[in-house]
Homo-oligomer: A and B are copies of this chain.
Amino acid sequence: MAKSKFEYVRNFETDDTCLRNCYIVVRLDGRNFHKFAEQHKFTKPNDDRALGLMTRSARSVMGDLEDIIIAYGQSDEFSFVFKRTSTLFKRRASKLMTHVASQFSSSYVFYWKDFFGEQPLLYPPGFDGRVVLYPTNRNLRDYLSWRQADCHINNLYNTVFWTLVQKGGLTTVQAEDRLKGTLAADKNEILFSEFDINYNNESALHKKGTTLIWEKRDETVTKRMKRPDGEEEDVPVTRSRRTVQDYHCDIIGEQFWEEHPDILEDGC
């Protein structure tokens, strides 16, 4: 069979290696998730089942690709950060982003039932992705801060909007009009004075999104060992295991990074 005759077409592939020594960020965004959320009756302004499923899918991606040092998600998006020295898939952008998109999407369907129970998934959802490189720790932290600031802004808006609709009896058009031109302080004030809601007391998950990092946890396991006298006995052994932990805290300020100094590498 004339295999070789056609094989020249391989040379049309182009190299898309990511610049060395930069953080590689893959961000996924849900496709048409407004419609998807409606069709699947997501509660407003936040659906904890949906957020839980996003986080579960992100854990699946992190478990699969250990070079991801931190992931951050909110609403229908999730960002995955590969360590700057990663050589996974030879740093090929296409491999990295398609693998993340694929693993996340198959996990989303796979774990759907764990979060939505008997409510059926109506059709397979889609996520699109992109790759962005950040050369310095400052740039990377600013990227994550940008996403968390976005989470805050959207959540404050959505919280007031849906409170006006659900508790205030406004139509969605009226709620939109009411919020036009308001600042954060105005929105806090509406919540507080009209609905007796202190935004600060709202769920951290909704206000801050979800941050996933690897952490070493000590585990005590029992191991059967031989004593000097030849007898065997059960001995408790402590060992360290890397697991993915989730946080719903501020990652814009210094505290989080001071408490987890191992996430970012010294870039020199």
Tell me if A124 and B149 are in contact (CB < 8 A). Answer: no
Interface segment, one of A16-24, A161-169, A197-205, A228-236: A16-24
- Nearest to A96 among chain B residues (CB) is B128
Name A71-107 residues within 8 Å CB distance of B. Answer: 84, 89, 93-95, 97-99, 101-107
Cα-based distance from A149 to B5 in the complex (angstroms): 10
Tell me if B17 and A94 are in contact (CB < 8 A). Answer: no
Interface segment, one of A7-15, A47-55, A213-221, A255-263: A7-15
Tell me if A103 and B126 are in contact (CB < 8 A). Answer: yes
**A186 in the interface (beta carbon within 8 A):** no
Per-position 1/0 for A118-131, Cβ under 8 A of B: 00010111111111
- Nearest to A123 among chain B residues (CB) is B110
B residues near A121, Cβ cutoff 8 Å: 110
Which among A15, A109, A150 has the greatest number of chain B C-beta atoms within 10 A? A109
Cα-based distance from A114 to B28 in the complex (angstroms): 28
B residues near A108, Cβ cutoff 8 Å: 106
Q: Quote the shortest CB–CB distance from A24 to chain B (angstroms).
A: 11
Task: Kindly identify which residue among B60, B135, B143, B145 contacts A136, using a CB–CB cutoff of 8 Å.
Answer: B135
B residues near A12, Cβ cutoff 8 Å: 19-21, 132-134, 139, 143
- Nearest to A93 among chain B residues (CB) is B94
Total interface residues on A, CB under 8 Å, equals 72
Task: Kindly identify which residue among B93, B102, B150 contacts A102, using a CB–CB cutoff of 8 Å.
Answer: B102
**A46 in the interface (beta carbon within 8 A):** no
Per-position 1/0 for A1-44, Cβ under 8 A of B: 11101111111111111011110000010010000000000000
Q: Quote the shortest CB–CB distance from A56 to chain B (angstroms).
A: 10
Tell me if B21 and A98 are in contact (CB < 8 A). Answer: no
**A152 in the interface (beta carbon within 8 A):** yes
Cα-based distance from A136 to B265 in the complex (angstroms): 12
Tell me if B99 and A31 are in contact (CB < 8 A). Answer: yes
Given contacts A9-B143, A95-B130, A99-B101, 13 further A-B contacts (CB under 8 A): A12-B132, A13-B132, A20-B139, A31-B99, A60-B124, A64-B126, A89-B128, A97-B97, A101-B101, A102-B102, A105-B106, A106-B106, A110-B124
